[in-house]
Amino acid sequence: MKKKCILIGTLALFFLCSCSTQQTINSSVSSGKFIPTGKLIIPFKIQTIHHSIIPQIQIENDKGLYNVAFDTGSNYNNLLKNGVKKIFGDEKRPIELAYTYVRRLSPDKNEKELYRAVNELINSGGITCTLNNLTVSGTAINDIVLQYVPANTRKIDKGLADAIVGVNFFGKCNNILIDYNNKVIEIDAAQLKVQACPMRKLNQLGLYVAEVVIDGITQPALIDTGAEYLFIREGFNKKIIYSDSDIINYTLHGKVKKSLPGFKLVQVQVGNINSKYRGYNTSNMFISGTESGNAFGQKCSILGYEVFKGHRIQLDFEHNLFRIE
Q: What is the pLDDT of residues 47-101, one digit of tens each?
A: 875 556 899 999 999 989 999 999 999 988 999 888 998 998 888 888 899 999 9
In a domain, 295, yes or no: yes
Instruction: Quick: pLDDT tens for 150-183.
Output: 877 665 666 668 999 999 898 899 999 999 999 9
Q: Region 229-241: what's the mean pLDDT? A: 90
Higher pLDDT, 35 or 195: 195
Residue 232 near residue 300, CB atoms below 8 Å: no
Q: What is the pLDDT of residue 126?
A: 86
The sign of the CA dihedral 41, 42, 48, 50 is negative
Is 127 among the domain residues?
yes
- What confidence score (pLDDT) does residue 181 get? 95
Most confident of the ranges 52-56, 113-117, 293-297, 314-318: 314-318
Q: Is residue 111 part of a domain?
A: yes
Smallest CA-to-CA distance from 8 within 261, 222, 212, 243 is with 222
User: CA nearest 163: which of 64, 29, 304?
Assistant: 64
Give the pLDDT score at 14.
Answer: 36
**What's the pLDDT tens digit per position in 256-270?**
888 877 889 999 999
**Predicted confidence (pLDDT) per residue in 106-126, tens digit:** 999 999 999 999 999 988 888
Decide: residue 172, CB within 10 A, 0-12 exposed, 13-18 middle, 19+ buried.
Answer: exposed
Residue 45 in this model has a pLDDT that exceeds 80: yes
| pLDDT at residue 1 is higher than 50 | no
Number of domains observed in the structure of the chain? 1
Helix or strand holding residue 123 (H, E):
helix 111-123
Segment 213-223, tens digit of pLDDT: 999 999 999 99
Q: Tell me the residue ranges of DSSP E strands in 20-156.
A: 22-25, 40-43, 45-49, 52-61, 64-70, 78-79, 128-131, 135-136, 139-140, 144-147
Residue 301 β-bridge partners: 221
Other Cβ atoms within 10 Å of 237 Cβ, number: 16
Is 5 among the domain residues?
Answer: no
Are the beta carbons of 301 and 235 closer than 8 angstroms?
no
Q: Does residue 4 fall inside a structural domain? A: no
149 three-class SS: coil
Question: 3 lies in a domain?
Answer: no
pTM of the model: 0.88
What local confidence, expressed as pLDDT, does residue 49 receive?
57
Residue 317 φ/ψ region, left for φ over 0, alpha for ψ in the -120 to 50 degree band, beta for the rest:
alpha
CATH number of the domain to which 112 belongs: 2.40.70
CA 123 from centre of chain? 18
Going by pLDDT thresholds of 50, 70 and 90, the confidence category of residue 5 is low
Smallest Cα–Cα separation from 258: which of 285, 286, 291?
285
pLDDT of residue 255: 87
Report CA-CA distances (Å) from 224 to 34, 71, 304, 311: 25, 7, 5, 14
- Quote the domain boundaries for residue 277: 10-324
Checking if the pLDDT of 273 tops 60, the result is yes
Closest among 325, 35, 36 to 194, alpha carbons compared: 325
Residue 9's alpha-carbon distances to 124, 147, 167, 200, 215, in angstroms, are 19, 17, 12, 17, 23
* Predicted local confidence at residue 90, as pLDDT: 86
180: left (phi over 0), alpha (psi -120 to 50) or beta: alpha
Residues 294, 265 contacting (CB under 8 angstroms): no
